[in-house]
Structure 1
Amino acid sequence: MKKLLGIGFWEFIARVILRNRIVILGCIVLITVLLALQWKSIRFTQTEANLIPLDDKVNVDYQKFLDCFGEEGNLIVIATKDKKLFTPKVYQAWSELMQTIQSSKEVSLVVSVDNLQKLVKNDSLETFELKPLVDKNKIQDEAYLTQIQKDLFSKMPFYEGLLFNKKSGAIRSAIYLDKKIVNTKIRKDYVLEKLIPAIENFTQKTNIELHTSGMPYIRTLNAKTIIDEIGLFIGAALLITSLIFFYFFRSFRATLISLIIVIIGVMWSFGIIAGLGYEINVLTALVPTLVIVIGIPNCIFFINKYHQEYYKHANKAKALQRVITKTGTATLMTNITTAVGFATFIATNNDLLREFGIVTTINILAIYLLCLLIVPIFFSYIPPPIPRHLGHLERESLTSFLKWIVNTVKYNRVGVYVTAVCLLAFGIIGINKIKVSGSIIEDMPKNTTFFDDIRFFEKEFDGVMPLEIMIDTKRKNGAMKLSNLRRMEELEQTIMDVPELSKPLSVVNIAKSFNQAYYNGNPEYYSLPSSQEEIFLLPYIKNSLKNSKENQLKSYITADGSVARMTTFIKDENGEKMESIEAHIRNKVNKLFPSPRYEVIITGKPSVFQKGTKYLLDNLLSSLLFAFALTGGLVAVMFRSLKMVLVSIIPNLLPLLMTAGLMGFLGIPLKPSTLLVFGIAFGMSVDDTLRFLAQYRLELARNDWKIKKSVFATFNDAGISMFYTSIVLFFGFSVFMLSSFGGTVALGGLVALTLSFGMLSNLVLLPSLVLTLNKTLANQQELPEPIIDILEQTDEAVDALEKKNK
């Protein structure tokens, strides 16, 4: 391996690149065109992120529910609190809106005041008949509409909590989409192109504000916001990184080629995502911007090295060759360590994270390859740098900063260690304050109308996030037995006692409505029938269901009558109480429906998401340990020194602990987005560690193994690149803070902050540890020979090889 990645190998690579420039550029253009052809296959996700392995019991239970009752997230609700709704003009517009919605082929059912039907007993036929609640011939009569409102609130308890809030007067309609289109592009097209325009048309006619929500609606607008922000991130990242780049190098040509490289990288990233058959979701949408943020530091490293070489001997050809020859292995290995940080997600048993890990790993190596090939080729065609371009090498502001770092390490190492211990304590204390969020809407854009509408429905109707309970009686028609209905009624009462849950809807409500209808609609009889009443009711119910074109029970009970469904809605404020709520319900379920006689599944999207967050949290430590092990193993292979392994891990572990502590003190919860911070930041921060250690080893050989002299000489070279790249990474990741998604903002801000901590840790704590742990090195006169030589090659070694090959 050492021979493979040694100086001879990289001199060969340098010759190949510089002697075959046209061929290489042609290949890059061809690959870019081929990947661009894949763009037509780009798909955007139409479902929520599933963070749990498919074979996990949580997913297995959820799939059982879907197999019995189909997609549960097909409900869209539209509501208003405006009292003018029951006036002729507004009611007419409302009725037209509902008819327009019902006429769409994407909609299977609309339940609204204007089309509401009530059960009426027909004694002669011993059946129940459905008759319209509203006589459409009378809707121009305001007194009649007022009476309809009173009847709805006082005589139809079945719809309380579903269609109206008696206390506040809020009225809503329930729109059930065709379950077949809920997870397809058709749902998105319907919401954006038909539903929203129809609602806006109603608002223009009546000047009444409507609130719209429900999982299909939320998912559609959420996905639209993700797509809209991809362009924002790419544009902002290109702008800010190019400005920083130009400020450092003061060269339009260097800035231009860097932009060309990362733009090609962005084009490749979209092609790779499409070519692998992956969808663009909340994570993969970040990849193109990550390519820019990671690609620019690569460009800085190569161009800075080119300038340093040219500054030494003013020979452009020699400088270009030595950019590759002297830094080949070092730049490759630092990019590999960055990729390792993202590759840890591949090891998780989760498709979403695995896809993100695969795509980012491939793109990191791809952008490295583009930099390695294009930078030397581009500069070979243009004139050499002028003195203004090289001025950054001696910029006073930079040298002053590095001088402060050197003085701190040289004269105040005790202070460095004391500060590190204090920061460690800060992190540990803060970690104990961190909360876990399992909320679906936690990361949704809070400055949008649809987020405000979510809060409206949580206040007026106790939420829009469905929590489903599936009760398998394991007997044909067992769910309709009066004894089991009474058990379900008792469970419903337990649910209604939980403030975060809405009034449940189940076959119990339907049975109660039948009993009320038997007593001529008297709301006092909205209750389960007694055993004696059941005898009289049974013929009416059977005849009603036999004569009905649409069996109204099918949404709440399976065809054989063995499995019942109970739906409630949960306020999704932060997800903290989800686990305790489920435990409370489960405790009651175990008493009412003991196993193995019954099987009861508690599921639904909020439940699955909350458990997904917990699953990620449980796997966070193992993922980080895996990253530490990979990095430590890489350092061990390169340096064959346990001390070097410790020195490489400690300065990168401290920033992670500080960030976690800061999250605890600032009240930033652990959630899917913030959990990603640690793996990403560690993989990128460790690059600086390897660059510093590589340069330190080289300086040892140059300075007769004098440790102090070698450490401080390291700052002259590695310090500049570390500072430049850290600045770019900080502002690059800060671009994500422009997002309207709380999770993306937290991800960008926390990674930027962690990388800043990491830069200071690697420039201050790392050399301090090297000086402390390597005190005995002067007696050894040498370090063990590395297996992979990551060191930047010395001028003497390169000169010798060049002379030999002439």
Structure 2
Amino acid sequence: MAVAPNKMDMAIIRDPKDFDSKSGGKLEQIIFNNRLVLILVCVLLTLFLGFQMKDLKIGASYDKMLPQSHPYIQNYLENRVELRGLGDSLRIVVAAREGDIFDAGYLETLARINDEVFLLPGVDRPWMKSIFTPVVRWTEVTEEGFAGGPVLPNDYDGSPRSIEDLRINIARANVVGSLVANDYRSSMIVVPLLPLDADGNAVDYHALSKQVDDIRERYAGAADAKVDIYVIGFAKLIGDLISGLEKVALFFLIAVVIAVAIIYTYTRCIRSTVLVLSCSIVAVVWQLGLVSMLGYGLDPFSMLVPFLVVAIGVSHGAQKMNGIMQDIGRGTHRLVAARYTFRRLFLAGMTALLADVVGFAVLMIIDIPVIRELALTASIGVGVLIFTNLILIPVMLSYIGVSPKAAARALAAEHAAERAPRGFGRVWALLERFTERRWAVPALLVSAVLGVWGFMTALQLQIGDLDAGAPELRADSRYNQDNAFITGHYGISSDVFAVIVKTPDDGCRDYETLTEIDLLDATLAQVPGVQRTASLGQTVRTYTAGMFEGNPKWATISDNQSLIDPQIGNAVSWNSEFLNARCSVSPVLAYLSDHKAGTLEGVVEAARAFSEQYSTPERQYLLAAGNAGVDATTNIVVKEANRQMLLYVYAAVAVLCLITFRSWRAVVVALLPLILTSILAEALMVHLGIGVKVATLPVVALGVGIGIDYAIYLLSIQLVFQRAGMSVADAYKKAVATTGKVVALVGVTLAAGVVTWVWSPIKFQADMGILLTFMFVWNMLGALILVPALSYFLLQGESRGRGSEAAAPRAQERQAAQAV
């Protein structure tokens, strides 16, 4: 009574002795004829990879956020050593609760905080800036020429006289608005960070953030404390994100509980529900073990991937469980039912999971290491599901089966729905009507209208951040409150865009170079969103005027080299940040009002136009450095990758569908609902004020890769029935009665698993939750509504050997029913 895997007459076999164990394909024979060996291998692998998880680290790296092959970032990395403080940095503001900073108690506290911060690991100590560090200096024009020194008087002792000297030096140094607040009630410590610590390891941002928080708690945590402390910077942002991930574990637990509840509500079988969940968790253990073995870790962006793997695993496992349950309900032995289900769904499941892998793997085209690691981590996780869900679940179910009551209930519900639909049965009956012309045409017209509206709205989609502060966190988060305080009390923001002027050694002292630097300075100053600019040109102007008793007529760049050379010498000796010791690299800085996409685009365009016009082999104007320069470059890379990524993922999914369906019309039927969902998802991003950036870029690709699962499971079964001779309507009805209901279950399970992210303290996770929930639900509805509607127009020819839609041979129908 054995049958080949491609035959339709899978008979009911109650005794496994009556089943030919050599039937089926080679892969099926290897798997099911060696079940105990396979289970033992899985147990050993789980133990081994679970042990490897001990080395798994959660962290982040500033360099991994950089699109490192982009010319702008290469310019920055090549000159990084010469660009002091223009990369990764922290800004710590110490504010007096009463009075101003010219108080002995406040200054003593500031001194202690400054010293503790100075000793933190990863700090680029020579270039740390505050009113207590020697690199911050004042200059003054006197009768004898220039005078100057550190802002903190050398003889400072906390006395009223020395505090008054400090007040005078702060005014001389012109640091009000940058290192001292405009209202003199707080001062800032600028802490540049090294890419590697003293041991050659990447700086641990989480540990650094906790150390800073410890300093904040000790000096500002008590009710009677004299100061408040505010902290911003990439390291603090990442530290807060990692700390927030501890709360995210709760959402993982909630997602698991919801998935189990939904699956159990559908099956009413505890043993199989627990098995499906266990195999999905095993997949996560394998994933994290393999990631650790490869030397990678998890970061705030890839931490969400294990949650998706569990949700995807539970969803695919439900399809296998549903098939076995129906066969057992008809009287087939659990081993035979497992093999039948393996035959029917392995190819569809393999295609669906490969589509998921493609949805993740295509992210590797984006030249940002953090996204590439996310793509690798996710691809490993979904790739593991191919084994745990398509092979391990059927093998385990061949031993434990499903509850006889659950199997009987499922079969009874199926027969009852065929006789007189009730409850949800009426929904399935309604869906079947979309195979009729009078229902299909309105459905497609409504979809077309939605598609046009969505496309027009999606044209307004912006690249990059659309809000001030850190959009990754909630607006009321501690970090964004700190950012708002600093922005409101200081004249310049922390968003710095730098153009690197590169010349041969001593080239920055040339008159032509200095005048062009000055011109670039003036050009950037006129760009909307630029608060102020600073450059070597301004420094030379100031120093030149100082040589002539501060006469403003001499605040210029002289064409007399003998007047220029002393000013460059002064700048070098006073460790100016606007040139290196060899006078070959000089940054021009633009302090921006924010890092919104529009602001960055304007500055980049102005700097690029200037570079194209004035750059020569001897004098180059290179974009870009500074945190705003990195953000701008990242936006450029994301914009270029966005459409390219979608094109690749759709092309790959189309190829996989063509292999599975062997019909280009079926591929069109499967892809059109996905395309509509992608368009509407971008329109939703516009309405929610979400830009395309590192955190949100993967979502649309994931939605396509995972969303195609619905159409694959539904269409693969529908085509089996059609090619057996059924009409589109009858074939779709049968497909809904089998895999279609589980398609709806899968959509609800996936959506319910991620919708809880909306309440996450991490805003980018909440944004991902909204978008993924939307895409999972719309892809499900597209599969259940648009697949039959499109099938009416495109797949009528797939029904072979019939004169009309009602002429399907009853014998073939019975065979097809047994097959599914």
Name the TM-score class by shorter chain: 0.7 to 0.9
Is 1:422 the counterpart of 2:425? The answer is no
Q: Deviations over 1:663-687 (max 9, x none)?
A: 3344332333333222211222222
> Which of these residues, 52, 77, 91, is aligned with residue 63 of structure 1?
77
- Picking from 448, 460, 463, the partner of 2:493 is 463
Q: What one-letter code is carried by the residue in structure 1 that aligns with 2:786?
A: L
Q: Distance in 1 between matches of 2:484 and 2:552?
A: 34
Aligned counterpart for 1:206 among listed residues 203, 219, 225:
225
CA contact (8 A) 2:315 2:749 kept: yes
Post-superposition shift, 1:92?
A: 1.9
Which letter maps to 1:101?
V
Deviation for aligned residue 1:560: 2.1
Structure-2 residue corresponding to 1:488: 517
Find out whether 1:386 has 2:407 as its counterpart: no
Aligned mates of 1:456, 1:420 — CA distance in 2: 47
Q: 1:536 to 1:511 in 2, by over 3 A?
A: closer
Partner of residue 596, structure 2? 574
Distance (Å, rounded) in 1 between the aligned partners of 2:474 and 2:446: 38
Contact 1:430 1:663 (C-alpha < 8 Å) held by counterparts: no
The 1:693/1:94 distance shift into structure 2, 3 A limit, reads same
Cα distance per residue 1:326-350 (max 9 Å; x no partner)? 3332322222232232233345555
Deviations 1:621-646 (A, max 9, x none): 33323333333333333343332222
The letter for the 2-side match of 1:552 is N
Which residue is 1:584 aligned to?
A: 606
Q: Deviations for 1:342-367, whole angstroms, at most 9, x for unmatched residues?
A: 23334555544444333323321312
Q: Do the aligned residues in 2 keep the contact of 1:126 with 1:540 (CA within 8 Å)?
A: no
Contact residue 341 and residue 680 of structure 1 kept, 8 A: yes
Cα distance between partner residues in 2 of 1:423 and 1:124:
76
- 8 Å Cα contact 1:74-1:176 kept in structure 2: yes
Offset of residue 513 of structure 1: 6.5
Aligned with residue 790 of structure 2, among 740, 747, 769: 769
Of the three residues 71, 74, 92, the one matched with 1:78 is: 92
Which one-letter code corresponds to 1:100 in the other structure?
Answer: E
- Check conservation: 1:656, 1:678, Cα contact below 8 A: yes
- 1:484 to partner: Cα distance: 4.0
> Alignment RMSD, CA only?
3.9
Residue 101 of structure 1 aligns with which residue?
Answer: 117
Query: Would you say 1:174 and 2:190 are equivalent positions?
Result: yes
The gaps in structure 1 that reach 5 residues or longer are 784-792, 801-806
Amino acid at match of 1:427: G
Once the two structures are aligned, what percentage of the paired residues are identical? 17
Counterpart Cα distance in 2 of 1:452 and 1:218: 12
Q: 1:98 to 1:514 in 2, by over 3 A?
A: farther
* CA distance in structure 2 between the aligned counterparts of 1:327 and 1:527, rounded to whole angstroms: 83
Aligned residues of 2:518 and 2:537 also touching (Cα < 8 A): yes
Q: 1:448 aligns with which of 477, 483, 503?
A: 477
Partner of 1:552: 575
Assess if the C-alpha contact under 8 Å between 2:661 and 2:716 holds in 1.
Answer: no
Contact 2:326–2:410 (Cα < 8 Å) also in 1: no
**1:250-329 matches, cutoff 5 A:** 250-313=268-331, 315-329=333-347
* 1:10-21 equivalences in 2 (<5 Å): 10=24, 13-14=27-28, 16-21=30-35
Q: Cα offset for 1:294?
A: 0.6
Q: Is the contact made by 1:73 and 1:216 (CA closer than 8 Å) also made in structure 2?
A: no
Instruction: Please identify, of 322-331 and 477-486, the stretch whose mean Cα deviation from structure 2 is larger.
Output: 477-486
Compute the displacement of 1:115 (Å). 4.8
Where do residues 402-801 of structure 1 align in structure 2 (5 Å cutoff)? 402-410=428-436, 412-437=439-464, 441-459=470-488, 460-474=490-504, 476-481=505-510, 484-498=513-527, 500-508=529-537, 511=540, 528=555, 531=558, 552-553=575-576, 555-587=577-609, 593-604=614-625, 605-702=627-724, 704-776=725-797, 781=802
Q: Partners of 1:612 and 1:75 in 2: how far apart? A: 18
Tell me, yes or no, if structure 1 residue 39 matches structure 2 residue 39.
no
Aligned counterpart, 1:88: 104
**How many aligned positions are there?**
775
Is the Cα contact below 8 Å between 2:681 and 2:771 reproduced in 1? yes
> Could you say what secondary structure the match of 1:772 adopts?
helix
Q: Which residue of 1 aligns with 2:417?
A: none
AA at the equivalent of 2:575: Q
- Separation of aligned partners in 1, 2:59 and 2:150: 42
Equivalent residue for 1:231, pick from 235, 249, 258: 249
* Change beyond 3 A, Cα 1:772–1:532: closer
Query: Per-residue displacement from partner, 1:156-176 (whole Å, max 9, x unpaired)?
Result: 32x244312446755322234
More deviation, 490-499/427-436: 490-499
Tell me which moved more, 443-452 or 756-765: 443-452
State how far apart, in whole Å, the 2-side matches of 1:390 and 1:92 are.
79
C-alpha distance in structure 2 between counterparts of 1:737 and 1:294, whole Å: 19
What SS does the corresponding residue of 1:130 show, helix, strand or coil?
strand
1:195 is the counterpart of 2:212: yes
CA contact (8 A) 1:326 1:798 kept: no
So what's the TM-score if we normalise by structure 1?
A: 0.85
What are structure 2's unaligned runs of at least 5 residues? Answer: 8-21, 415-421, 805-811
Tell me the distance in 2 between the aligned counterparts of 1:259 and 1:751: 21
How far apart are the structure 2 equivalents of 1:4 and 1:628?
A: 33
Distance apart, 1:382 and its partner CA:
3.8
Is the contact between residue 75 and residue 214 of structure 1 (CA under 8 Å) also seen in structure 2? yes
User: SS state of the match for residue 78, structure 1?
Assistant: strand
Contact 1:454–1:464, Cα closer than 8 Å, also in 2? no
Q: Is the alpha carbon distance of 1:343 and 1:481 closer, same or farther for their aligned partners in structure 2, counting shifts above 3 Å?
A: closer
Query: Aligned pair in 2 of structure 1 residues 171, 382: CA closer, same or farther (>3 Å)?
Result: same
Aligned letter for 1:418? L
Instruction: Pick the aligned partner of 1:162 from 146, 168, 178.
Output: 178
Structure showing the higher helix proportion among its residues:
1
| Separation (CA, whole Å) in 1 of partners of 2:791 and 2:121 | 70
Q: 1:392 to 1:748 in 2, by over 3 A?
A: farther
CA contact (8 A) 2:49 2:289 kept: yes
Relative to 1, partners in 2 of residues 1:539 and 1:598: Cα closer, same or farther, differing over 3 Å? closer
The whole-number CA distance in structure 2 between the counterparts of 1:491 and 1:443 is: 33
Assess if the C-alpha contact under 8 Å between 2:231 and 2:482 holds in 1: yes
Distance of aligned partners of 1:229 and 1:528 in 2 relative to their CA distance in 1, 3 Å threshold: farther
Q: TM-score, normalised by structure 2?
A: 0.84
SS in 2 for 1:210: strand
CA change 1:76–1:644 in 2 (3 A) is closer
C-alpha displacement at 1:300, in angstroms? Answer: 0.7
